[in-house]
Every structure is written in C-alpha cells, then in structure tokens.
Structure 1
C-alpha cells in the first residue's frame, strides 16, 4: 500500500507540473515531445531518447559541444603565505668593532647596492692602515736586499771566469739571492693581506681616517635595523637585514592526496584577499618531502615575480595550482552535465533532431569541463546550454505526458 501511494503521489506531481514545464518550452517543444508517448511501442523501445526539431531546439536555446581528448589538469586550491626568497636576503654585520656615529636608514627604506647604511668610528681602520704602511716599508727593504744580492751574484760569476773568486763564493752569493727573493715574496704577501684588510674597512672618500661603513651589497628593502647611535657594536653582531622583494616565495599548504598530485613545474595563480588586488602567475619549484606534524600538510614552494612589491612577506594568499595528472582523457563542456537521482547524465546528439540520454561515470570535474570515464566517446556531440530543457521533456514523457 505504501509503494502504491508513493507512485500515485509521483504521478500526481507530474500531472500538476506538466503544464508549467511545457509552457516554458513552448508549443513546438510540446509537439516535438508528444511522439515519445503517442506511440507506446516506440516509447517502450527508446525510453531514453528525446526528439526535438530545430524550432524546438531554438526555443529552449540549445547549444552543442564535442567530446574531445585533453590533458587532465586538476585545479588544486590551498592557502598560502608569502615569504622573502632566502637567496635574496642578506644579513649585514660591521666589518670591525666600532661606535655607531651615523645611521642612514630605517626599516622599510629602499636601498641600492653600494649605499651606506651606517658609519662607525672604528680603531680597526687605523690599525689596518698602520699595518699596511709597515708591510709596504718592509717590502721595499727586502726588494732592495734582493737587488743587491742579484748584483753580487753577477759580479761573482764574472770574477769566476777570470779566476778572481772561488766557486764556493759564487755558490754562497747564489744562496744569498735565494734568501733575499724569498724574503721579498713574504713581504709582498703581507702587503697584499693588509691591503685587503684595509680595503674592506676603508672609509668613504671625504670621511675620517678611522670611519668604517656598513654598505648594502644588493638592491632591496631594509627589513631590520639592529643599531642605535652611539653604541659600540662587535663584528659578530647582525646590524641590518636587506631583502630583495622583486621575486618572492609563496608556501602553499597541501593536504591529503593533493601532496602527491602537485609536482614541480605546475603553473600557479596567486590571489591576495584584497579588493582589486592583481593576480600573480608562477610555477611550483618543489614540494617539501616532510609533512608538518602540527597541520599534517606539506608546503609547496612557489616562486613569483613581484616587480612592484605588491606581495609582502607574511601576507596570506589563496593559491590555485594547475596540477598536471600526467594523463589524457575524454572531456565534455561542464554545461553538458545534468544531475538526476540515478547520477549524472548528458544528452548526445545522434541525429539533427534526436538526443540520447547517457548515464555517465565522471573523473575530474572542473568549472569549464568534466572528464568522462564512461558513457561518451571522443567526437560525439553533446547538448550544452539548454540541456536542462531536454531533461525536462524526457521527465514529462516518462511521467505520461501524452493524454
């Protein structure tokens, strides 16, 4: 009895709503659908077919697409965080101990390579200069000794030819020249050492002889300044951090199966949750092999060009990764898909006025297309826009629309 009552209710609903549905589709659609029910033998043999002429198709706005093979690209969405590229970040220390006498920049300032960030009054500069002068004097002395030893050797060799000196004397003078040459080389190495030390600490032109500068090695932005005027700082202490924001890293937190789907080289779109903020394009460089035990996610490293500096470190962003699954499949436009209680369906155009309902097994589903695992083959034409009208006509016919 319960089943009988349920059947009566369904039939009643179909009878009540047949007029509004077919009124929307129009009289042409109504007439086109009548043969499905007027001929009981045909309706029984083709219960999943809708016949609709061109006028009826135009009335319901029917459009078509074609099933085609394409690479299966799955959109993976994940939250992300912007960070500076660690390869473009430098931490600067004083080159020698000294007292801060000038502080030229503050956090947030843009700087150029070679720009002075701070100056120090450093005794180490004077020590390096004094050591360089002493090394140069020693070099001059050893070079003079070497020249004298070379002259003595030549004279001894000339005297040896006429028997003026013994061979042993010539040998001794040759040893003296070798010693003088070695002393000169040692003195030159010491000069080079002190010159490098002084050049590293040398003050800028016009500055005091004991002033040492902290200079930016790259173009970028000062993100941290750990100095105050007048304090004495050691060479082991970080004074400034300068980062180049023209190219940043986005760390996208991948979860579950997405960790295996995303691979290096996949294209990425990054969107900040700010009105009218532009989208940024980039690529996945790598996916971390370790999973964060607190969140059970693995970060994907994404490199983004950021020439205007709109993406800022520690900013939260939305990430969409086009994950290439490494295979191809049959796809149809997403508009061709219709949902029923039995599952997804689509209408395949088998003749100019004949449409066959197909039950589908789906794969990847996107906003623009869906993958068809079973139900449609490559090259078949499917109804897209207006396919809901075909579904309505078929439902009306199954409910016994013909009187």
Structure 2
C-alpha cells in the first residue's frame, strides 16, 4: 500500500518539472515522464510563435543582417523624377545652361512705352478734291477737235479741245460797240468840261448868269458818269473776248478748252462735231501724285482714332512697302448705310500705285494717351488659369507670373499686373518652360 502510493506520486512530480522546463525534457536520471494530455495545445502555440519569428526575420533580413555586419554591399538606385523632388516653390523652374540651349530659350526685357493700339479698317482711295478740275466749254459751239482721251497725261495750259465758238463773234462785236460808246462818252465829257470853263470866265464880267454856269456843271457831271459806265461796259466785253479768244496760232473764231493743272484725264464728256454749251463738263482732270484714303471706322474705333495718328496703308503691289501717312481728320457724321465714320488720310502717290476707287487695308496707330509696361508677345503663354510669363530671377531660375493684360498686339502686349519694367522674361522656348513646370507639378517621370 505504501509503495504504490509513492509510485503514483512520483510521475506527478516529474510532470510538474517538465512543465517548467519549456522544452519537454526532464532530468536525465529520472525515468521517462508520462506526457499528459494538457501539453498538446501548448506545443502548437510554441510552433506558431517560432513560425512568426522566422517570417519576421526573412522580411527584415536586411536590417538584421546589417546589424550583424552580414549585409551585402548596397547597389545605388537611379533617381526618379518624383513629385517629392519638385522645388518648394511650385512656380519656380530651375534649368541649367545646357538645358536652356536645348529648348532654344531666348529672352526679352519688359519696358515702358507709349500704348498705341493698331486699328485695322477697310479703306477706299479717292482723288484729292482740291487737285481735281472739271472743265466746261467757255462758250457755246461745235467741237472741232479733241486732243486727249481718258487716261492721257496732260500738263498745265495744254489745249484739250477746240470749238467753233459762235459766242466769240458776239464778244468781239460787243467789245467794239463798247469801245465806240466809251469814245463818245469821253467826247461829251470834254465838251461839257469846256462849257463849264467858258461859263466861269464869262461869269466874271457878267457875260452869263450864275444859273447857266451851274447847268453846265451838271452836264459835265453827267458826261463823266457816262464815261465811267462806258469804261465798265468796254472792260466787260474785253475780258469776255480775251477769255474766248483763240490761243496763239489757233484759227480765228475758235475757242479752246485748256486745263489749268497737270494730271490725268479721268473723263471726257464731249464728242467730235457735237454742239455743246457751258452747262456741262467737257473734261475732268485729276492730279494723282497725292491722293486721299477714306478709312471706314466702326464702333469704339471712331473715338480712339484722332487727327495726327500714324497710318500704314497696304500697297496693292506685292513686295512694295506700305504707304505711310497721318490721319488728317475724322468725319463727325456717320454714313447711314454702313454706320461708319470715314477717317481722311492724305498720302503721296508718286508712282500712281494707288488709284481712285481702289479698296485697301488701312492700319491706324491709335495713340491711347498713356504709357504702360510691355513685354514681347512671344513671352505670353496661355493656361487654364489665364496668361502667364516666366521671369528670369537668376541665370538658372525662372519664376512663373500670372499676368493681367491690357492692349495686345502681334509684336508686344501691355502688362497691367505681373511683370515690372526692366525684368527679363523668356520669349522663344517659354513653351518648354511651361511644359517642364506642368510635368513637375503632375509628378511625371518622362
């Protein structure tokens, strides 16, 4: 009884010792323990812990090996164009000289200038009305000869046509009658003057009465008035005859149509053998060396364009430089058919390239009366947020600036906000700067 009790107690002690061992081993001198059923779950837990440790060691083998001094040498990794590599300022682009040359970067300077808006308008060429003459026959008559045709060039004093002037004979006869009347009036004046002189001498010794002397003085006054009237009548007929008299060397009884200016015959209104009078134009002669261009201004351009503004008129001949001039005036009245106001432009036309009724393109430099900061037009880039420009802040640094634009031309634009006078801006190649900035902002790795 006692032996059995000790034997049954011993395995229980061994079991407790094994439980504290942790590896399932007992004392070597002790007999093999008897494994209890409660050990199986603990063994499985130990295996799970060992598996987790092994997985962590494999995953973090690099730091572990490095800590033990057993890690292999590190291979350098290529630098990627990541978004976290972008500069702190998202509006800044850094580009060395080689990259600037590669994208063809060029520069311009913001400068202050007079703001002049180019106003483009259609125009029509016309003769200067002060250089056009409409010639009418000086007297009624039959056309004997025509010396010119439309398009012919003439000189001042040249005869254009000859008429068999019936009015010339009337003027000559009238002049002769007026001269005869003038002679008679002068003779009567001389007699009246003599009678007055005699009467005054006789009045001294009572040969005539005072009333008679006074009557003779009245007759003298009438004779003098008749002389003046006859003189005026004679001068009138003389001027008429001289105006109608044929030119030197011309046939008697003929009248010539003579141009007072040099120019080009633009129209002929008479025909050979036709009987004409003084009521219609026989010829029209215009001087084309200086012409007028009427530019049709519309809307706000009417108030922008002023007298004195510079003008450029496109030449109708390819390759010929434009005609330069200035605005003479802007008509205060609108054309009711087109609702436009014509601006008068006077131009020299030495080669006759500008012909009447020719349609031309006119560009007026409208001075807006203010100064402003301008940059080259090539420096402006358009984005979804509006126009921008890249200002060179250092030899390799370019800052994006949002712009507020004013007047925009093909060669420069007015900048009301964004760029100061004297700053350097990128012109050619600025599109490349915009692309680099957008790629950096989007984190592109291209």
Indicate the TM-score class for this superposition, using the shorter chain for normalisation: 0.7 to 0.9
Shift of 1:66: 2.2
Q: Distance in 1 between matches of 2:216 and 2:331?
A: 69
Match of residue 340 from structure 1: 383
Pairing 1:113-152 to 2, within 5 Å after superposition: 113-152=156-195
SS at match of 1:119: strand
What are the Cα deviations for residues 373-403 of structure 1, in whole angstroms up to 9, with x where unaligned?
A: 2211222222223323322322232232579
Structure having the higher Rg: 2
Instruction: State how far apart, in whole Å, the 1-side matches of 2:371 and 2:154 are.
Output: 49
Give secondary structure in 2 for the equivalent of 1:331.
strand
TM-score relative to the length of structure 2:
0.77
Match of 1:78 among 97, 115, 121: 121
1:265 aligns with 2:265: no
Query: 2:204 is matched with which residue?
Result: 161
Matched, 1:282 2:320: no
Secondary structure (helix, strand or coil) at the match of 2:187 reads: helix
Cα RMSD (Å): 2.3
Q: Report the CA distance between 1:68 and its aligned residue.
A: 1.9
Of 221, 227, 231, the match for 1:188: 231
Shift of 1:263: 2.0
Residues of 1 paired with 2:249 and 2:423: CA distance?
81
1:200-215 pair list within 5 angstroms = 200-215=243-258
- SS class of match (1:376): coil
Superposition deviation, residue 131 in structure 1: 0.5
Tell me the equivalent position of 2:132.
89
Contact 1:83 1:249 in 2 (8 A): yes
Q: 1:361 aligns with which of 404, 411, 427?
A: 404
Describe the shift of the 1:215–1:169 C-alpha distance in structure 2 as closer, same or farther (beyond 3 A): same
Tell me if 1:112 matches 2:155. Answer: yes
SS of residue in 2 equivalent to 1:71 = strand
Q: CA deviation at 1:164?
A: 3.2
Measured against aligned partners, the alpha-carbon deviations of 1:291-332 in whole angstroms (never above 9, x if no partner) come to 344434333222111122111111121111111122221111
Matching residue of 1:17 = none
Residue in structure 2 matched with residue 13 of structure 1 by the alignment: none
Cα deviation, residue 177, structure 1: 1.3
How far, CA to CA, are the matches of 1:202 and 1:184 in structure 2?
26
Counterpart of 1:251 (choices 291, 294, 305) is 294
TM-score after normalising by structure 1: 0.85
Choose the corresponding residue for 2:369, options 304, 319, 326.
Answer: 326
SS at structure 2 position matched to 1:347: strand
CA distance, structure 2, for counterparts of residue 396 and residue 196 of structure 1: 93
Moved more, 110-119 or 78-87: 78-87
Distance in structure 2 (CA, Å) of the matches to 1:95 and 1:296 = 42
The CA distance in 2 between the partners of 1:245 and 1:68, in whole Å, is: 42
- Compute the displacement of 1:59 (Å): 4.4
**1:126–1:209: 8 Å Cα contact kept in structure 2?**
no
Please name the residue that 1:27 is paired with.
Answer: none
Residue 397 of structure 1 is matched in structure 2 by: 440
How far off is 1:55 after superposition? Answer: 4.5
Q: Distance in 1 between matches of 2:201 and 2:106?
A: 110
8 A contact 1:263–1:284 mirrored in 2: yes
Matches of 2:322 and 2:241, distance apart in 1:
49
Deviation at 1:65, TM superposition (A): 2.3
What does the per-residue CA deviation read over 1:41-70, in whole Å, with 9 as the maximum and x for residues that have no partner?
Answer: xx2x41001123445444444333222221
Q: What's the counterpart of residue 372 of structure 1?
A: 415
1:63 to 92, 106, 117: 106
1:12-59 CA deviation, whole Å, 9 max, x = no partner?
A: xxxxxxxxxxxxxxxxxxx9x98x96656xx2x410011234454444
Higher RCO, 1 vs 2 (CA within 8 Å, ≥6 residues apart) = 1
Contact 1:38/1:402, CA 8 A, preserved across alignment: no
Q: How far is 1:107 from its partner? A: 0.5
Counterpart selection for 1:303 from 338, 341, 346: 346
Query: In 1, Cα distance between the equivalents of 2:306 and 2:203?
Result: 82
Q: Work out which of the residue numbers 138, 143, 146 in structure 2 matches 1:100.
A: 143
Gaps spanning 5+ residues in structure 2: where?
Answer: 1-78
Instruction: Please report how far the alpha carbon of residue 191 of structure 1 lies from its aligned counterpart in structure 2 after TM superposition.
Output: 0.7
Structure 1, gaps ≥5 residues long: 1-30
Partner of 2:215: 172
